[in-house]
Chains A and B, each alone.
Chain A
Amino acid sequence: MTTLNLKNVWKIYEGNVLAVQDLNIEVKDGELFALLGPSGCGKSSTLRMIAGLEKITRGEIWFDDVLVNDLEPRERNVAMVFETYALYPHLSVYENIAFPLRIRGMSRDEIDKKVRWAADFLGISDLLPMRVKGLSGGQMQSVGIGRAIVREPSVLLMDEPISHLEARQRARMREELVDLHHRLDTTTIYVTHDQVEAMTMAHRIAVMNLGKLQQVGTPTEVYERPRTQFVGGFIGEPPMNFADCELVRENGEMFAVSPSFKIRLSSQAAKKLESYQGAPKVQLGIRPESISVSKTPTPESIQAQVYVLEPQGERTLLSAKLANGELFLIEVAPDFAAQVDETIYLQFREPIHLFESQEGLNLLY
């Protein structure tokens, strides 16, 4: 039962390298919380500060009402699962799982009880006598998890635990880890660069970029209401389309205008933009499923050319070239047929996102 609180946490490495800037996050008791971002975003530094493997430059980390800034890793009662497993290859599965208990000087009987419980919990009891060396990637990761949970930690930290597995196995492990978390009910922080993992597994996601927190929210929130352009582009597959455009007011209506198109914004959007004082140059963002395609022009449709068609079974991905050269990805039905370079007409549907050009903040958030 642990709530985790990061208050104004900074990590500055030697040479004034800003790894984490003023991070504020609250992880609820029993939550599966993902730290998501590309390499260099600060997610691993954050995890290591929580684990106590890295000193906090500034700020506070609280486990419930205990300030852990100056506690040693082992005093924090956290357990970590790594991408590389970090197992002892020459030892048996049993000994690997028992290891953290042995160094704590626990009695033989107690250790045996706990190791068997962990193995049973993970469904790997029959692997116990085997050597780690010959196991598959998925099995090794289960052993790594066994070694972490055997101590019954108050917080479980996972650092890209399945990112090196092949696609099908990764998909299976995603479900297994969620199931495991559900049965274990331990506060868990899960670090990944893979938005699919974060979206499909976590209760809430903290999206980070260049050391800064971009947004915290549920998978649906970060997908539907990205707070910044970075979040819009990072979350979702196929990715969101972006185009430079300018906000123009005409006869009481708002338009987003680019050399490729002129889009009339909804009255709600226009209303939100009333107080906007920033530069008129903005980025329009629209997801591939929010664009419809027709072969004939419709009122206010946007002319484009077919660049590439990619059939994907249940849908086809159409890449369309707009007048100004932007490539937009569009999801169309699998029976959609068109020739390369054929002229088509696009219609943008809501939600249309607008991001200001300074910090990429979503103006309609």
Chain B
Amino acid sequence: MAKISVQNVSKMYKGGEIQALKDVSFECEDGKFFCLLGPAGAGKTTTIKLIAGIEAIDKGQIFIDDQDITDLLPKDRDVAVAFETYALYPQRTVRENLAFPLRAPMRKGGMSERQIQQRVVEIARLLGIEELLERLPRQLSGGQRQRVALGRALVRKPKAYLLDEPIAHLDAKLRHRMRGELKRIQLELGITTLYTTPDQLEALSLADYMAVLNNGVIEQVGTPVEIYNHPINLFVARFVGDPPMNALQSKLEGDDLVLFGLAKLPVTAALKTRLVNALTGDGVVVGIRPKDLDIVTPDSGEALFKGEVKNVQVLGETSIITVVINAHELRAKLSTQMAPARGERVGLKFSLDDCHFFDIHTEQRLF
């Protein structure tokens, strides 16, 4: 049983010059996989360091279950950490690095040497580094070192795992496999896990719950499905999902939404009322995901916009096309078989049902 509760935590660096975390609060429930997602410099690693006790908190409190751990020494917190920077013992072999947390004197109910070796081999096999056990860290590639660092965290069964971008340095194929394995291991062990990543796909794939962090502030907390389907503001909407959601600067004029000052989209009376009630002015950002944009022939009546295909990116079964409309670019994701060619003139359409609406000034979600 271990619930991690971060309450109103702030952290400054350089004597208050840089505020890394501003009044951050979130709760990671017992046994859940919780991802902290955000761009570089958002404060993800700082959060991990504060929970691990590696750095001191300036303001706020952290609880594990009902125990206030804010002032506890790292070793008394019973959490296992894997850092992106590995932090391995350079003069010890992989085997010894992995065994170290099991030998540490403060662990009560110590394991026998045989049990330790068994556990080390088990974890090494799981991470595909079994054949590297007798090597030193400097004899390993970045991806291999990272797996050792991850293994050193997973070898124990603490109250919580704190994993800081633990698979960032693996190549694409291996990262894919490790992601699935990590999710399965966590599910089987049921150990509360806090995991940071700048990769939105990784966060969506792994998390039971996730928080989007930006400039030291939590933007939104929710399940991956909630965050993808109901992003709370334009930042979250464009950070989660790839390619980013299209954002159309629009205005409510009479019974129409005028998109980019170019196209008129008639709205129902009900939608108009909702917009009027929610807006601070008359400016709306209409958000539409690339997968929800459809290509039609430019002279068909359905085309909301007409534009020229500037770029076609084949991903495999699907392709991303970039369409230029005056000075604006919109991206659509569609089946490669349906994709138009570069330079072709196309029409674009979408359904109001797939739109997200944001206030143009506050950038907050309206509905």
Contacts and interface: CB of A to CB of B under 8 A. Distances in A.
Interface of A: 38, 166-168, 171, 174-175, 178-179, 182, 193-196, 199-201, 219-220, 223, 233-239, 287, 289, 307-308, 310-314, 317, 319, 327, 329, 334, 340
A167 B206 CA distance: 18
Interface stretch (B62-70, B170-178, B297-305): B170-178
Given A167-B198, A200-B320, A307-B184, A313 B314 contact: no
Contacts of A200: 313-315, 320
Interface string B237-249: 0001111100000
A287 B45 CA distance: 36
Most buried by A among B179, B228, B311, B333: B311
Given A166-B39, A312-B204, A199 B315 contact: yes
A175 B183 CA distance: 33
Contact of B179 (A220, A233, A236, A310): A310
A287 B205 contact: no
12 contacts: A168-B39, A174-B313, A175-B322, A178-B311, A179-B311, A195-B172, A199-B315, A237-B172, A307-B184, A317-B205, A329-B180, A340-B184
A314 B241 contact: yes
B187 interface: yes
A25 to B, nearest CB: 20
A311 B200 CA distance: 11
A178 B184 CA distance: 40
Contacts of A317: 205
Given A38-B171, A223-B316, A311-B224, 4 more contacts: A168-B244, A179-B311, A312-B205, A340-B187
A182 B291 CA distance: 26
Contacts of A235: 316
B353 interface: no
Interface of B: 39-40, 171-173, 176, 179-180, 183-184, 187, 198-199, 201, 204-206, 224-225, 228, 240-244, 289, 291, 310-311, 313-317, 320, 322, 333, 336, 342
Contacts of A236: 316
Contacts of B39: 166, 168
Contacts of A234: 173
Contacts of A313: 204, 224, 228, 240-241
A199 B198 contact: no
B204 A196 contact: no
Given A166-B198, A179-B310, A311-B225, A171 B204 contact: no
A223 B173 CA distance: 16
- 7 tightest A-B CB contacts, nearest first: A200-B313, A310-B205, A219-B314, A313-B228, A308-B180, A223-B316, A236-B316
Contacts of A178: 311
Contacts of A287: 316-317
Contacts, number: 90
Contact of A311 (B204, B313, B315, B333): B204
Contact of A238 (B176, B198, B225, B291): B176
Nearest to A307: B184
A199 B172 contact: no
B182 to A, nearest CB: 9
A105 to B, nearest CB: 39
Contacts of A219: 314
A220 B314 contact: yes
Most buried by A among B39, B199, B201, B333: B201
Contact of A175 (B184, B224, B311, B315): B311
Given A166-B40, A311-B225, A313-B241, A196 B315 contact: yes
Contacts of B171: 38, 193
Given A178-B311, A200-B313, A310-B183, A167 B228 contact: no
B328 to A, nearest CB: 14
A237 B313 contact: no
Contacts of A334: 225
B334 to A, nearest CB: 12
B193 to A, nearest CB: 14
A166 B199 CA distance: 10
Contact of A308 (B183, B315, B320): B183
A195 B173 CA distance: 11
Nearest to A310: B205
A24 B242 CA distance: 37
Contacts of A310: 179-180, 183, 204-206
B40 A171 contact: no
Contacts of B240: 313
A142 B286 CA distance: 32
Nearest to A288: B317
A194 to B, nearest CB: 7
B166 to A, nearest CB: 16
Contact of B173 (A179, A239, A308): A239
A311 B228 CA distance: 10
B336 A220 contact: yes
A167 B199 contact: yes
Contacts of B313: 174-175, 199-201
A101 to B, nearest CB: 31
Contacts of B184: 307-308, 319, 340
Contacts of B183: 308, 310
Contact of B176 (A38, A167, A239): A239
Contacts of B206: 310
B314 A199 contact: yes
Nearest to B240: A313
A202 to B, nearest CB: 9
Contacts of B199: 167
Given A200-B320, A312-B204, A194 B172 contact: yes
Nearest to B339: A220
Contacts of B205: 310-312, 317
B201 A312 contact: yes
Nearest to B291: A314
Nearest to A238: B176
Contacts of A239: 173, 176
A202 B123 CA distance: 41
